[in-house]
Amino acid sequence: MKSVLNNRPALKEDIEKVAEVAGYLWQKGWAERNGGNITVNVTAWIDDELRAQSPISGPRAIGMTLPRLRDCWFFCKGTGRRMRDLARDPMAGGALIRITDDCAHYQIVADRLVTPTSELPSHLAVHDYLLAKGSPYRASLHTHPTELVALTHNKKWLEKDAATRMLWSMIPETKAFCPRGLGIVPYLLPSSLELAEATIRTLDQDYDVVMWEKHGVFAVDTDIVSAFDQVDVLNKAAQIYGAARNMGFEPDGMTDAQLRELSDAFDLPK
């Protein structure tokens, strides 16, 4: 059967990156059952032939109107699909969709009928926000990194930038590779419009990674590998903190002076 990926190397590469990251999430234990989601804006790789291809589904309502997504194309994890499914066969575990001209519906245009994730509206709302802002970011990731989620069960880490300061201080690479730190969203119902709106408000405060209390993280970046890398680095810092506590002591962390020196040396935000 002819695949939409045939003779489209850039589109294929982007979707293969999704499969690669999905495998990492499963291996790390951050994607239990069908947990987590990935949505990537692949509009740049869509050619006229694919635009003219008949969809395999009729228009389906998004549940909101997103004016900047007119004729945008996305690849996203399928509903009920597991990250390990996506890693093994992305076109069976994910959906390629086009946003219709009314900006309120989507159609599936792909090799087989895979319904997108139930969290599609919130992911698309973020992508609409990113385009409105003129951001180069085209990938969004939601996953459940164990140590970062554990931190949110202690109220002191829910204070603004408290977790950021601690995580930056665990190892120099954390601030170097995650210079905008970790935004915090207090607990809200998963998949809710309220959670999507709170996430966008937090991203608008210049964060790239947002922590959902007692739930998981939401990260955005230029591509899905970069979004994963930010979460991976932050969670490594949380692991170092937890390891020190398990050894029976509170880690000293890098000093403010050391963090300022790091910022100056690598031209990072203060």
d(CA 218, CA 208): 8
Catalytic residue, candidates 16, 20, 49, 119: 119
Query: How far is the C-alpha of 270 from the C-alpha of 253, rounded, in Å?
Result: 17
To which H or E segment does residue 10 belong?
Answer: helix 9-28
Query: Stretch 91-95: mean pLDDT, rounded?
Result: 94
Residue 1 has pLDDT above 70, yes or no: no
What is the rounded average pLDDT of the residues 101-107?
Answer: 97
* pLDDT (average), residues 207-228: 98
Q: Name the CATH superfamily housing domain 1-25+40-118.
A: Class II aldolase/adducin N-terminal domain (3.40.225.10)
Q: Which residues contact 166 (CB under 8 A, 6 or more apart)?
A: 157, 237, 241, 253
Where do you find CATH 3.40.225.10 in the chain? 1-25+40-118, 145-270
Name the DSSP letter for residue 112: S
- Region 110-138: mean pLDDT is 94
The pTM is what? 0.95
Task: Mark whether 261 is an active-site residue.
Answer: no
Task: Specify the pairing of strand 209-212 against strand 73-77.
Answer: unpaired
CATH architecture label of 145-270 = 3-Layer(aba) Sandwich (3.40)
Report the half-sphere exposure of 46 (CA within 13 A, side-chain side): 19
Among candidates 186, 187, 178, 235, which has minimal Cα distance to 208? Answer: 178
Q: Is the pLDDT of residue 148 over 80?
A: yes
| Stretch 223-234: mean pLDDT | 98
| Mean pLDDT along residues 44-68 | 95
Structure token pair of residue 40: 């990537």
For the chain, the first-to-last Cα distance in angstroms comes to: 53
CA pair distance 42, 8, nearest whole angstrom: 12
Q: For residue 118, name the pLDDT band (cuts at 50, 70, 90).
A: confident
Mean pLDDT for the stretch of residues 3-25: 96
- Whether residue 50 contacts residue 97, with contact meaning beta carbons closer than 8 Å, is answered with no
Give the mean pLDDT of the chain. 95
d(CA 210, CA 203): 7
* 240, two tokens: 């170092």
248 Rama class: left (phi>0) / alpha (psi -120 to 50) / beta: left
